[in-house]
Amino acid sequence: MTATISAKLLEWYDRNARRLPWRVRGEERPDPYRVWLSEVMLQQTTTAAVVPYFARFTARWPTVEALAAAPEEEVMAAWAGLGYYSRARNLVKAARTVAGLGGFPDTETGLRALPGVGDYTAAAVAAIALGRRAVVVDANVERVVARIFAIDAPLPGARKAIRAKADEITPDERAGDFAQAMMDLGATICTARDARCLLCPLQSDCAARASGDPLRYPIKAAKKAKPLRTGTAFWIEREGAVWLVRRPAKGMLGGMRALPDDGWRAGADGGGDAPIAGAWKAAGVVRHGFTHFDLELGVALHAGDTNPQGEGEWWPIDRLAEAGLPTLFAKAAERVLASRAD
């Protein structure tokens, strides 16, 4: 059965593979840099969102050596909007490590030693770019395997069994194509919300389909409600420019340009003092979801001329899109600018 699954899926992939900017077709081996960059960007982010970022990054930094030489703040600004900003910081660290080594490590173990590279990314680069047999399990693969074998233990406890079954069906040859085929199948046919079994090349091998309820798999534990945090961002404006600060290197949105705030963080609400005294006017509230909590961020405008204390920079409002604000603070800025048009 396992050989049949891999053969059927590779045959389907040869006809139906998605065309993505980091992929190559035929005998040509993909560039490890492009594979690694795409896999880091794709962590908890949709393909549609990643494609334009990938294009801009590779145009600006076409090689790992070019990325290694880039100032971290420029990379962070280019990353703005993709979220999970520790990925960008680790991206720079890993690029510098690879440049120092003279190239990417050629084993899974070596790849796993790079900053920010975990089991999945190491396996993906090893299989897709280096031609190694590696077991690649992302969320799409996890779902496909859970359905093929009707694995009835709930996540996350089922992951060990899912990985073992994925190992069983991964072929010795074309492991990279097989991994991408599993990803494509999960992204286009065996999706979280639908199981288009009549189009699936593995329909006759799938225990979940035979059960009559393929959407039951993978079985997920009940979600815990995320806590709601609150905070305030402060808009301080002077002569067509807004005051921006650089967030601490460690912590939420570390190293990013942002509006000043009242000290909210992942584990606590805000409530700290405003950056300057004086009259403040409420400009509304924005809401943003992080992995482990939701945030309601009030936006306050300062009335009158001012000269903020501490480190920061006056950024032209008409060039605010170039500041690389993380999504949360971009929403806050949009709220302020929209309030003027109301």
Of 7, 32, 55, 36, the C-alpha closest to 181 is 7
Contact in structure between 142 and 190 (CB atoms under 8 Å): no
Buried b / exposed e over 207-219, threshold 16 CB at 10 Å, is ebbeeeebeebbe
Average pLDDT per block of 10 residues along the chain, 342 residues long: 87 96 82 97 93 97 98 92 90 97 96 96 97 96 98 94 97 95 97 96 97 96 88 92 90 89 89 83 92 93 76 93 92 89 60
| Dist. CA 149–CA 205, nearest whole Å | 9
In this structure, is residue 223 part of a structural domain?
no
- The pLDDT value recorded for residue 280 is 87
Question: What CATH number has the domain bearing residue 20?
Answer: 1.10.340.30
Q: Are residues 233 and 190 both part of a single domain?
A: no
Q: Are residues 211 and 273 both part of a single domain?
A: no
In this structure, is residue 64 part of a structural domain?
yes
Picking from 161, 195, 216, the residue at the C-terminal end of a domain is: 216
Mean pLDDT estimate for the chain: 92
| Dist. CA 295–CA 269, nearest whole Å | 9
In this structure, is residue 120 part of a structural domain?
yes
Annotated active-site residue in 39, 65, 73, 239: 39
Residue 154's CB is within 10 A of a number of other CB atoms, namely: 12
- The pLDDT value recorded for residue 271 is 86
In this structure, is residue 304 part of a structural domain?
yes
| Dist. CA 92–CA 66, nearest whole Å | 10
- The pLDDT value recorded for residue 248 is 86
Q: Are residues 210 and 253 both part of a single domain?
A: no
For 44, 151, 153, the CA distances from 193, given in Å and listed in that order, are 17, 18, 19
In this structure, is residue 95 part of a structural domain?
yes
Single pTM value for the model = 0.82
Domains contained in the chain, number: 2
Contact in structure between 158 and 219 (CB atoms under 8 Å): yes
Strand partners, 238: 241
Q: Are residues 277 and 326 both part of a single domain?
A: yes
Residue with token string 């405008």: 301
Strand partners, 287: 296
Of 276, 269, 261, the C-alpha closest to 294 is 269
- The pLDDT value recorded for residue 1 is 64
Q: Are residues 196 and 77 both part of a single domain?
A: yes
Picking from 216, 249, 283, the residue at the C-terminal end of a domain is: 216
In this structure, is residue 222 part of a structural domain?
no
Domain that residue 50 falls in: 2-216
Active site residue 27: no
Question: What CATH number has the domain bearing residue 327?
Answer: 3.90.79.10
| Dist. CA 34–CA 131, nearest whole Å | 15
In this structure, is residue 221 part of a structural domain?
no
| Dist. CA 233–CA 275, nearest whole Å | 10
Q: Are residues 14 and 139 both part of a single domain?
A: yes
